[in-house]
Each structure stands twice: as C-alpha cells, then as structure tokens.
Chain A
Amino acid sequence: DIQMTQSPSTLSASVGDRVTITCRASQNISTWLAWYQQKPGKAPHLLIYKASSLESGVPSRFSGSGSGTEFTLTISSLQPDDFATYYCQQYNNYWTFGQGTKVDIK
C-alpha cells in the first residue's frame, strides 16, 4: 500500500499569508496526485489534479507542484474562505489520502 504523509498537521496563518503544505508518498507515484479542500460537515472539493493542474472554477491563488514522492500545495494569498482542512490523495495505485492539514486563523 502507498502511504501518504502530510506536513504540518495544523497550520495557523493570517489573511494574506502565503501558505505551503507538503505531501510525501511512500513510493514513486509520478504525478498521480490530487488535492482536496474540506470544510467541517461538508464534502471534499477538488482543487488540483495530476499534481499541478488547477480544477475548473478553483481560484488561481491555489497551485500545486511536485512529482515522484514529494508534492506541495501553495495558497499564494490566504483568503477568509480558505480556512479549512486540506488532503492530498494518490491515485497511482488505488487511492489513499494523507492525514490532512488543518489551516486555522492565527
């Protein structure tokens, strides 16, 4: 099984901050990686797929990069609507998720 590990688990930030979340895979997954945003009591929402492709309708302040085993999600200027939990997901071999990174207000 491919294990996904995110860091940090919690991140405190202010509106306007640049935020970076890291996701590491236990083995090479090429660029078969997606990022999702989830708010409390809501379904996950796709942000990024194939490591760096922005889903239609997602603001351009979100970006993804990486390949192989190390990936990052960057929010260039944090907005009030962005306080949420973010999950990475590999789909190179079935599907597994990271443990999540909660972005809260500093």
Chain B
Amino acid sequence: EVQLVESGGGLVQPGGSLRLSCAASGFTFSNYAVSWVRQAPGERLEWVSSISASGISAFYADSVKGRFTISRDNSKNTLYLQMNSLRAEDTAVYYCAKGESIALHFDFWGQGTLVTVSS
C-alpha cells in the first residue's frame, strides 16, 4: 500500500524555521519525483516545490524561493522541506505528493501537516 506520511509541522514565530519530513512506503521512492503543495485555511491548493527522482533538479514557487529548500534522502525514503524566514502567509497544511515524473500530475498525496506561523 502506497503511503506518504508528513511530520514536523507546528507553531512557529514569524522569522523562525521549521523542517518538514515526508516518509514514503509501498513504492520505489527513488523512481518518483516528489513535491510539496500547501493549502491555507479556506484557500485553493498552492504548489510550493518539487524535486526530481534523483534529487538533481529542484523547483520552487516564487513565493518561497530563497527561503525554502527541498531535499530527499532516497536511502531513507524520505522527502524534506526546510523552511526559513517564515511569514504569517506561510500558514497552511503542507502536503507531500508523488508523480511519475517531475513534469507530470501528482498521483498520490499524503494526509498533510499543519504549519502555523504566529506570534
């Protein structure tokens, strides 16, 4: 059974940092691109970042470029998102999602982890 399990969310002050993790199982993690997508309360889904299967290529939304870093450890079947200089507008549920290729749709999503940026 395919599973993606996010962790690491929580309450953080503006300007602070947080690292999210996404543990994958039930498929060959190293064969798939993976991404982070977030959803602020009552808002639409917003793509955040994606990384290729090998980890060589990474892409970021303009809203997080220079503040967030995506990475993966294929030996641990885990995806990460390092989030620095957090702002109130980063408050959202963060989902990890996988796709066959870096350029395609997302065929499976995790259940998400909530990040709240507030003083």
Contacts and interface: CB of A to CB of B under 8 A. Distances in A.
Interface of A: 34, 36, 42-46, 49-50, 55, 87, 89, 91, 94-100
B31 interface: no
Interface stretch (B71-79, B84-92, B99-107): B99-107
Contact of B45 (A42, A44, A91, A94): A44
B105 A49 contact: yes
Given A44-B109, A46-B106, A95-B50, 13 more contacts: A36-B45, A43-B111, A43-B112, A45-B109, A49-B104, A49-B105, A87-B44, A89-B105, A91-B103, A91-B104, A91-B105, A97-B46, A97-B47
Contacts of B47: 94-97
Nearest to A1: B62
B108 interface: yes
A-side interface mostly: loop
A82 to B, nearest CB: 18
B59 interface: yes
Contact of A46 (B37, B50, B105): B105
B95 interface: yes
B59 to A, nearest CB: 7
Contacts of B111: 42-43
B110 interface: yes
A44 B109 CA distance: 7
Nearest to A49: B105
Contacts of B50: 95
A46 B66 CA distance: 30
Most buried by B among A34, A43, A49: A43
